[in-house]
Amino acid sequence: MIHRPKPERFRLRRTMMFMNAQKPGLIKDAYIYGCDSIMLDLEDAVAENQKDAARFSLYHALTTIDYGDTEVIVRINGLDTPHWQEDIRVCVAGRADGIRIAKCESARDVKTVEAAVEAAEREFGVEVGRTLLMAALESPKGILNAYEICSASDRMFGVAISGGDFRKCMQTTFQPDGVDMLAARGQMLLAARAAGIQCFDTVFTDLDDSEGFEAEVRQNKAMGFDGKSLINPKQIRLVHQVFAPTEKEVRQAEKIVRAFREQSAAGVGVFTVDGKMIDVAFVPGAERTIKLAKACGMYKGDL
Amino acid sequence: MKNAVGREIPDSLLAGGKEVYQGKNYMDGKYIQKASPRTRRYEKPQESKIVETLADALRQCGARDGMTFSFHHHLRDGDYVVNMVMKAAIEELGLKDLTIAATSLGSAHDPIADYIEEGKVTGIQTSGIRGRMGEVVSAGKLKTPAIIRSHGGRPRAIEAGEVHIDIAFVAAPTSDCVGNCRGIGGKSNCGSLGYAMTDAKYADHVVVVTDCLVDFPNMPTSVEAIDVDAVVVVDSIGDPKKIASAAARISQNPRDLMMAENVAKVIASTPYFKDGFSFQTGVGGPSLAANLFLEQYMDERNIKMGWAIGGICGPMVELLKKGKVGKVIDVQDFDLDGVNSINQTPGHFEMSASQYANPANKGAFVNKLDFVVLAALEIDTGFNVNVLTGSDGVLRGAPGGHPDTAAGSKCCIIVTPLVRGRMATVCEHVVTVTTPGDCVDVLVTDYGIAVNPLRPDLVECLDKAGIPHVTIESLKEKAYSLVGRPDDLEWEDKVVAVLEARDGTILDVVRKIKPYTLED
């Protein structure tokens, strides 16, 4: 059996690629495409009478395939279905890194899943607290309750919006400028940042519209998202490109981190870098930039 | 005797001064005495060279037992001509002990397998061998070992007189009444006739077989009437659907695209990627898709491709039409976009197989090539490539221009998935070495990139560009960890095919495969 290291709650998650957990040809080596996380789907991609088969396929993938550094998350079926409890048992038994709660609408939903996860961890002898959670907000109610959802559990690492369902609820359709989901994206980002967790945007489904995709990814970055859900490996490159820091940002971040270390060792709190005032508040952002730069192969220094 | 790629070559094959493979460029600077054909004079003006039937043409050319007939493979799997000619020779004229020297053979030629089994065809010289013919040769039913040569090795062997062609048959999409041929303008178009050119110049007799007779003179000619003895008009020379696909499509398979993107990344990291660079790629999924990503890098750096060669298809023609490549020089066309462009689109030229790839001439295009992107059935940890034999040891492929472009180019990139079904593509030892490892520079797989240790300069390029790479051994181990390590094939002693390196030395042999029996 493959032993996956303990999942890291806050890691780089620029790209989360969805794939049907029932398709061995897809999931056997999905890590080769270089996305940060893969999202093995037990929900919509799997037909109602195939849920069981998909769980078997998922379990064997989790326990026999070495996904390396690629995070492995599983999207389970909604809490209004007869499937979710068994889905959770399989995820925990196979030591998935995290579970994505579909159609999450309240803190109670998170706590319900958390309780089932903990029970499964005890059942299968998995360290309690190992399995991370994220929530997918797919309805107006989910968006309105975003903050309570984001702060419902220490296992929560992030929240994502699911555009297809959400747009239906709102009686709108995809708009190239993103106005259809502007309020929802904004509200969710506010909630996630307030709760101190990550935030991910929905999939872009028209694979032939590369310009539209790029525009949406750029908007995602500008709004402050951590990453995006994807449906095809060929979308990965662009997201990584857009989310990559510029050379200048990397140089600046390195200076800030180094200066902060020197100055704080010398007992100085506020100082200047290239004429700009810097204090401790700038450091997490700078460290994040370095981490991103490393993931993009842009930074090879010792920080 | 062991050769430079570690293959044991039987001494019996080294009679008459034949040597084993010694490494790249071993023959450089040596002299060859070119052979010349013995041809008939047609001094008295002729109205026409058309004869009624293939049998008449064979008789006119003095066909007899033991002769060597040559063919080109531009009609690919749509070809009718090889079967037609051999049928006339064997069933109408009753000939035997015939050798087929073709630029390549495919499953269209399955009926020839019967003539091999009957002992009528006793020699095969070709680049490709597949289908039933591959099976009967592998089963040891051909009287003499088949000789497998690359596209450049073949014109070399012809010019050196190692293959003497008694009658060359040129399947021609169009011809006039005296034998000026073109690959376009008819109903079975194939575009370039590059592989027929050397044959026509060095054969004692040349017979043109066409299904579309056009007015004299058929210009610009690919094969010239000055070398042609007879013209035979038949109903059809081939199945157009199998001659050229409608349009070679760029793969949408994410795995192919990822590999193609990495190929382009590797290319863009080298010093050869500069304005005016030269390029050849195949039509396989990831090879062809490399065009797409390469174009992005060209745009980014504001550079253009100087010229491209090879088998040509739509995506390259597109680049030419967009002005992103200066010239396309074409030995063979793979799709109708290529066929319809040759000699029509400004900058799209035809060339002969010798001009393309012959290692013994003074100016082959492959020697000026910066990059070539090639596929592989197998590649081993010595970077040796097999594109000829399957994992069961049976002949089912073709070296084609693989060894020639690999040897000539400054940077040869092999792109292949790490495993195919249950077969490891990256392995300990390839079944047959068709391209020696000293000619292969970079391997791109879906599980990682490996650089040949013989090229530390390329290692440096990749490192500088931040392109991760691993050892080929680690890729092999990964492949075996996924699909298991196969048992060694078991062979009998009998050599069924000799694999000639492009310079004429012996690179490898294919032996008769031992029939597989289940243990009790």
Q: Give the span between the Cα atoms of A180 and A173, in whole angstroms.
A: 7
Contact in structure between B313 and B335 (CB atoms under 8 Å): yes
Burial class (CB in 10 A: 0-12, 13-18, 19+), A47: exposed
- pLDDT for res A272: 86
Contact A29, A19 (CB under 8 A): no
Pairing state between β B325-333 and B146-148? unpaired
- Measured between beta carbons, which residues in chain B are less than 8 angstroms from residue A297? 466, 468
In terms of CATH architecture, what is B50-243? Answer: 3-Layer(aba) Sandwich (3.40)
The string of pLDDT tens digits covering residues B29-62 is 999 999 999 999 999 999 999 999 999 999 999 9
The residue of chain B nearest to residue A208, with distances taken between CA atoms, is: B252
Is B421 an interface residue toward A (CB < 8 Å)?
no
Q: Which two tokens stand for residue B458?
A: 């390329």
Q: Is B258 on the interface with A (CB under 8 A)?
A: yes
For an interface test with A, give the residue of B251, B256, B258, B297 to mutate (most A CBs within 10 A). B258
Task: Dihedral sign for Cα B79, B83, B85, B86, please.
Answer: positive
Q: What b/e string do you get for A192-211 counting C-beta neighbours within 10 Å, with b at 16 or more? A: beebebbbbbbbbeeeeeee
- For residue A5, the tally of other CB atoms under 10 A from its CB is 8
**Count, residues in chain B:** 520
Instruction: Say yes or no: A297 contacts chain B, CB-CB below 8 A.
Output: yes
pLDDT of residue B244: 83
Average pLDDT of the residues in A185-214: 96
- Topology of domain A15-243, CATH: TIM Barrel (3.20.20)
Q: Describe the strand order of the beta sheet including B442-445 as a list of residue ranges.
A: B348-350, B325-333, B305-312, B277-281, B371-374, B411-415, B442-445, B448-451
- Interhelix angle A84-93/A107-123, nearest 10 degrees: 50
Average pLDDT, chain B: 95
Contacts of residue A125, defined as CB under 8 A and 6 or more positions apart, other chains included, come to none
What is the arithmetic mean of pLDDT over A167-193?
Answer: 95
DSSP B400-445: TTHHHHHHHSSEEEEE--SEETTEESEESS-SS-SB-GGG--EEEE
What is the DSSP secondary structure assignment for residue A9, as one 8-state letter?
S
Q: pLDDT value at position B114?
A: 97
The two tokens of residue A269 are 């709190």
- Rounded to two decimals, what is the model's pTM? 0.91
Q: Is B275 exposed, middle or buried (0-12, 13-18, 19+ CB in 10 A)?
A: exposed
- A173 pLDDT exceeds 80? yes
B16 in A contact zone (CB under 8 Å): no
CA B481 and chain centroid, separation: 33
Tell me what pLDDT residue A85 has. 97
The C-alpha R_g of chain B, in whole angstroms, comes to 23
Closest to A234 (Cβ–Cβ): which among B254, B447, B468?
B254
- SS3 letters across B190-204: CCCCHHHHHHHHHCC
| Residues of chain A contacting B257 with CB distance shorter than 8 Å | 233-234
Q: How far apart are CA B44 and CA B24, in angstroms?
A: 49
The DSSP call for residue B92 is I
Average pLDDT over chain A, rounded to an integer: 93
pLDDT digits (tens, 9 = 90+) for B230-241: 999 999 999 999
SS3 B295: helix
Q: What one-character DSSP code corresponds to residue B249? A: P
Rounded to 10 deg, the angle between the A210-223 and A182-195 helix axes is: 40
Is the distance from CB of B479 to CB of B418 less than 8 angstroms?
A: yes
Q: Where are the domains of chain A?
A: 15-243, 247-295
Would the ipTM clear 0.90, i.e. be above it?
no
Average pLDDT estimate for A178-189: 95
Token pair for A33: 């495409």
> Smallest Cα–Cα separation from B330: which of B422, B520, B193, B435?
B193
- Test the B interface: residue of A17, A32, A208 with most B CBs within 10 Å: A32
CA–CA dist A26, B191 (Å, integer) = 39
Among A29, A250, A300, which would you mutate to test the B interface (most chain B Cβ atoms within 10 Å of its Cβ)?
A29
Hey, which CATH number is domain B254-488, 3.40.1080.10, 3.20.20.140, 3.40.50.80, 3.30.230.10?
Answer: 3.40.1080.10
Phi/psi of residue A247, nearest 5 degrees: -55, -40
Residues ≥6 apart with Cβ < 8 Å to A303:
A254, A257, A258, A290
Query: Could you report the per-residue pLDDT of B392-415, keeping only the tens digit for each?
Result: 999 999 999 999 999 999 999 999
Unique residue bearing structure tokens 């700009």: A276
Single-letter residue type at B116 = I
Q: Identify which of B249, B191, B198 has the alpha carbon closest to the alpha carbon of residue B71.
A: B198
Q: What is the average per-residue pLDDT within A92-107?
A: 96
CB contacts of B254 in chain A (<8 Å) are 33, 232-234
CB within 8 Å of A94: residues ≥ 6 apart:
A58, A59, A61, A62, A63
Distance CA A173, CA A187 (A): 19
**3-state secondary structure at position A241:** helix
Q: What is the pLDDT of residues B316-371, one digit of tens each?
A: 999 999 999 999 999 999 999 999 999 899 999 999 999 999 999 999 999 999 99
Interface A:B, Cβ pairs < 8 A: 20
Q: Is the CB of A29 less than 8 angstroms away from the CB of B258?
A: no
Question: What's residue B520's pLDDT?
Answer: 64
Q: Name every residue whose Cβ is closer than 8 Å to that of residue B71 and which is 6 or more positions away in sequence.
A: B79, B81, B82, B85, B100, B101, B102, B103, B168, B169, B171
Antiparallel, parallel or unpaired: β B426-427 and B442-445: unpaired
Q: Are B272 and B411 in contact (CB under 8 A)?
A: yes
Q: Say if the Cβ atoms of A32 and B447 lie within 8 Å.
A: yes
Between CA B464 and CA B17 the distance in angstroms is 47
> Which chain A residues touch B447 with a CB distance below 8 Å?
29, 32
Residue B416, token pair as written in the block: 């292949």
State whether residue B276 is helix, strand or coil. coil
Residue B154, both tokens:
């073949």
Mean pLDDT, contiguous 10-residue spans, chain B (520 residues): 95 92 94 95 95 98 98 96 98 98 96 97 97 96 97 97 97 98 96 96 98 97 97 97 82 91 97 97 87 94 96 93 96 94 94 97 96 96 97 93 97 96 95 97 97 98 95 97 92 96 97 82
Report d(CA B271, CA B157) in Å as an integer: 35
The answer, yes or no, to whether residue A278 has pLDDT greater than 90, is no
| Phi, psi for B79 (deg, rounded to 5) | -70, 130
Q: Domain coordinates of chain B in residue numbers?
A: 50-243, 254-488
Tell whether A53 lies on the interface with B, counting CB pairs under 8 A.
no
